[in-house]
Amino acid sequence: MFRILYLSAARRPFSKIELLALLEKSRQNNARLGITGILLYRDGDFLQLLEGEESAVRSLYHRISADPRHGSVRTLVEDTCEQRLFEDWSMAFRDLADPTLKQLPGFSALLNQPRDLADHPDDAMQIVLYFSAAGRR
Ligand SMILES: Cc1cc2nc3c(=O)[nH]c(=O)nc-3n(C[C@H](O)[C@H](O)[C@H](O)COP(=O)(O)O)c2cc1C
């Protein structure tokens, strides 16, 4: 299993409707490609984990990187893994600006500054892990 974690910035903020359309399309495609993961969004910043077979993940990441709706795409983590963090999802999603998230135990101050994560890939992976079933165990 192979995974890529990246950070990017929307060219302009996505509306709820645009995010939902992106998710619907992604879930259709990813299910077909055997790719799972999570997409985190906050005020125009994206943090996304893609996991699956290496060639499938790489080619999807290549396609996503070229998407004109975002830029400053930075690869934070690229490695192999024993198993998926998000087995049950073709693409999980959280809007980190959602106030209900702040009530979750362990909600980290880091979540308030996704842009800083560019220099802290381990912290970025911790956040993703937090939203996975493994993180809740
Ligand atoms: C932040 C971001 C994350 C994306 N994630 C995915 C994804 O996980 N899967 C996917 O198929 N497309 C994703 N896309 C969309 C792709 O860039 C591209 O528009 C889409 O795959 C095209 O699909 P189509 O060829 O079926 O129209 C993402 C785009 C952005 C801006």
Cα 80 to Cα 70: distance, rounded to the nearest angstrom = 26
Residue 13: beta bridge partners?
none
Cα 133 to Cα 116: distance, rounded to the nearest angstrom = 25
Ranges under pLDDT 70 in the chain: 101-115, 134-137
Q: Give yes or no for residue 11 CB within 6 A of ligand 1.
A: no
Ligand 1 pocket check: which of 67, 75, 90 to mutate, most ligand atoms within 8 Å of Cβ?
A: 67
User: What pLDDT was estimated at residue 96?
Assistant: 81
pTM of the predicted model as reported, rounded to 2 decimal places: 0.91
User: What pLDDT was estimated at residue 1?
Assistant: 94
**Environment class of 29 (CB within 10 Å of its CB; exposed 0-12, middle 13-18, buried 19+):** middle
Q: Give yes or no for residue 132 CB within 6 A of ligand 1.
A: no
